[in-house]
């Protein structure tokens, strides 16, 4: 886990401590395989999974873990993600991770689809939201931590072996945590948009939790680490909860179009700091730059209503963040001699990936609005924001003075001794012998050899202020990864690979109340199936809308097992598909799809549904293979 390095925090709630050091430009790198980097970055989340692992788990060296989480408290808290290199489940950074993965999908889902990674990205979101739903068993109760850092750090064990405390810690109306509840509301709201068309019932469930959590956060105000004090040493809420209240409101407005949340942003912008704080940092603690970016998009899209003046102040602060990152503001972010954004020595890359994401989306927002960024040094074209974000990502991938890739498994020179319990100890699948609490330190932590398990896609903490990096397992400041390092990077990598399509096919921008109707839909046609297969495939168009002058259709396909036996290992071949598909898992061989991750078999007479969106007639779906049991 990445401890909070308080001495280097730039923010003091009585004022801002800006970094006033010089800026060294970094030439744009080239030749990186952004699709490969995206694939690996998503794969990292599978290595961080807690709970019962699914049959299609791709990180094979991991096993089931944390199977009794929550039992002592009478609640099922099995699942979710370990935050970093340890075995604790911290709710605040986990929820932020889910929010940022969802935002990445909402902005660049079509680009992810073109690279074959949209399904994996959505699976990663759902693994997080499934847990967050469990952690919210009552409207005003939210579990924010399982395990504790003190006992966990005393041991060096695989998740599959851990003998440390699995105590569960919660917030409620008597022990509030508005920051934790607000961030979780934001995660649920953002994810509800991701699943709105692919899984409408699940989307509605997420939105119900989001509404309840926002009400909880707003009505019973307080910092979560005052209620869950064991989190203070690890994920202390220095910025308080005001930013999360605005952040949650912004996401709930995006998910619902309800005026209540728009008015909340307008009426509370001054009191909660949205119009006042000019930030140089965006991450799991400080959300102001994120909410300011979202509100700026509303303003540029003509959706501010009566709050245009207040929203203009939000946008001013959003643009101050962008300018400071690019070295074009009054107060600029420090950079290393190699050109990397530098905030602090402990896990600095979390701020690099999050800033790169905001720069990327804001570049696209400006392009769509046909505007430039306004900095103290003059106007900056949207393309310059994207170019700078690209330079930061390229640095992470190896275009730096050390020629080191800080993504494990990408390139030829990447960290070999990652500060990560699971990757540093031989897999339980290879050697199931129990690894004891202290024995893990003696046998595995102190090894000078490379990790026995490759933590593919992990973004480690990264270099220091002078581009130096020491690849040692005990150098946790630089070699420990975290889920929130990777989450913002998904969107940037997808954008760098796929370009800017103007709007994501996943859903219309800002979700209009009523989609523009059309008079004619494509004529349905029967989908070919294998003649001998006891499988029925029924397809129909269920919705249509016009975006950017193009008509899109949502198709529903219902696959029914007509045999008298349970069907397993079903593979469907889908051709003439020109858009994203949800509800099936894409196989490695292109157009072939299998059961979704949450389905292992299809009983006799039962059906599964998948959906896809494109601006074309119904796709051809045929049965490739299956087994009956």
Give the distance from CA 268 to its chain's centroid: 27
DSSP structural state of residue 405? -
Domains of the chain, first to last: 6-411+473-498 (1.50.10.10), 535-628 (2.60.40.290)
Give the distance from CA 160 to its chain's centroid: 25
| Cα distance between residue 374 and residue 394, in whole Å | 25
**Strands 89-90 vs 15-16: parallel, antiparallel or unpaired:** unpaired
Active site residue 609: no
Active site residue 419: yes
| Cα distance between residue 485 and residue 283, in whole Å | 9
Tokens representing 491 are 């969107």
pLDDT of residue 7: 32
Active site residue 69: no
| Cα distance between residue 423 and residue 222, in whole Å | 37
Catalytic pick from 32, 211, 480, 614? 480
Whether pTM > 0.85 for this model: the answer is no
Q: For the chain, which residues score pLDDT lower than 70?
A: 1-30, 501-533, 588-591
Catalytic pick from 120, 140, 419, 614? 419
Catalytic pick from 172, 471, 538, 609? 471
pLDDT of residue 589: 54
pLDDT of residue 501: 62
Contact 559, 608 (CB under 8 A): yes
Residue tagged 């934001």 (tokens): 186
- pLDDT, tens digit, 9 for 90 and up, residues 333-390: 999 999 999 999 999 999 999 999 999 999 999 999 999 999 999 999 999 999 999 9
- pLDDT, tens digit, 9 for 90 and up, residues 247-300: 999 999 999 999 999 999 999 999 999 999 999 999 999 999 999 999 999 999
Task: Report, in angstroms and rounded to the nearest whole number, the Rg of the chain calculated over CA atoms.
Answer: 24
pLDDT of residue 552: 79
Using alpha carbons, select from 289, 377, 276, 275 the residue that is nearest to residue 330: 377
Angle of CA points 609, 579, 43, to nearest 5° = 80
Cβ count near 587 (within 10 Å): 16
**Strands 15-16 vs 620-628: parallel, antiparallel or unpaired:** unpaired
């Amino acid at each position: 886990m990445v401890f909070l390095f308080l001495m280097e925090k730039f923010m003091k709630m009585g004022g801002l401590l800006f970094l006033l050091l010089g800026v060294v430009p970094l030439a744009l790198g080239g030749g990186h395989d952004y699709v490969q980097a995206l694939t690996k970055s998503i794969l990292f989340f599978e290595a961080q999974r807690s709970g019962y692992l699914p049959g299609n788990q791709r990180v094979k060296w991991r096993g089931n873990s944390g199977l009794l989480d929550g039992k002592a408290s009478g609640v099922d808290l099995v699942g979710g993600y370990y935050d970093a290199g340890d075995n604790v489940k911290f709710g605040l950074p986990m929820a932020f991770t889910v929010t940022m993965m969802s935002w990445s999908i909402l902005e660049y889902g079509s680009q992810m689809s073109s690279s074959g990674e949209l399904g994996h990205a959505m699976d990663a979101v759902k693994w997080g939201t499934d847990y967050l739903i469990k952690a919210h068993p009552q409207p005003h109760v939210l579990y924010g931590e399982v395990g504790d850092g003190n006992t966990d750090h005393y041991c060096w064990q695989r998740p599959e072996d851990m003998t440390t405390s699995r105590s569960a810690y919660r917030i409620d109306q008597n022990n509030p945590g508005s920051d934790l509840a607000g961030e979780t509301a934001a995660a649920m709201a953002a994810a509800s948009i991701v699943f709105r068309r692919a899984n409408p019932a699940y989307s509605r469930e997420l939105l119900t939790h989001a509404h309840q959590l926002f009400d909880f956060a707003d009505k019973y105000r307080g910092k979560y680490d005052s209620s869950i004090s064991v989190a203070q040493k690890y994920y202390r809420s220095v910025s308080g909860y005001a930013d999360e209240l605005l952040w949650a409101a912004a996401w709930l407005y995006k998910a619902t179009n309800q005026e209540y949340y728009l008015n909340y942003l307008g009426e509370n912008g001054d009191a909660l700091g949205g119009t006042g704080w000019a930030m140089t940092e965006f991450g799991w603690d400080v959300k102001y730059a994120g909410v300011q970016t979202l509100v700026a998009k509303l303003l540029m899209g003509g959706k501010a209503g009566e709050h245009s003046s207040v929203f203009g102040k939000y946008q001013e602060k959003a643009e101050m963040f962008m300018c400071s990152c690019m070295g074009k503001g009054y107060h600029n972010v420090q950079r290393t001699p190699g050109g990397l954004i530098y905030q602090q020595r402990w896990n600095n890359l979390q701020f690099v990936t999050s800033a790169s994401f905001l720069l990327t989306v804001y570049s696209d927002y400006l392009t769509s609005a046909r505007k430039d960024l306004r900095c103290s040094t003059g106007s900056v074209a949207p393309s310059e924001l994207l170019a700078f974000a690209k330079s930061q990502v390229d640095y992470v991938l190896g275009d730096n003075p050390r020629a080191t890739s800080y993504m494990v498994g990408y390139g030829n020179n990447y960290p070999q001794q990652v500060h990560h319990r699971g990757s540093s100890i031989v897999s339980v699948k290879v050697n199931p012998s129990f690894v004891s609490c202290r024995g893990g330190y003696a046998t595995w932590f102190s090894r000078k050899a490379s990790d026995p398990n490759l933590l593919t896609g992990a973004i480690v903490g990264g270099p220091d202020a002078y581009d130096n990096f020491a690849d040692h397992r005990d150098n946790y400041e630089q070699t420990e990864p975290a889920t929130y390092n990777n989450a913002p990077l998904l969107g940037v990598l997808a954008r760098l690979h796929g370009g800017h399509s103007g709007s994501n096919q996943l859903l219309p921008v800002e979700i209009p109340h009523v989609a523009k109707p059309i008079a004619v839909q494509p004529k349905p046609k029967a989908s070919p199936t294998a003649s001998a297969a006891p499988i029925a495939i029924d397809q129909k168009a269920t919705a249509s809308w016009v975006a950017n002058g193009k008509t899109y259709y949502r198709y529903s396909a219902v696959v029914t097992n007509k045999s008298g036996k349970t069907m397993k290992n079903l593979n469907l071949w889908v051709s003439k598909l020109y858009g994203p598909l949800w509800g099936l898992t894409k196989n490695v061989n292109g157009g072939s799809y299998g059961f979704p991750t949450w389905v292992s078999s299809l009983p006799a007479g039962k059906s599964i549904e998948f959906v896809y969106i494109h601006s074309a007639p119904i796709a051809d779906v045929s049965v490739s293979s299956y087994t009956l049991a």
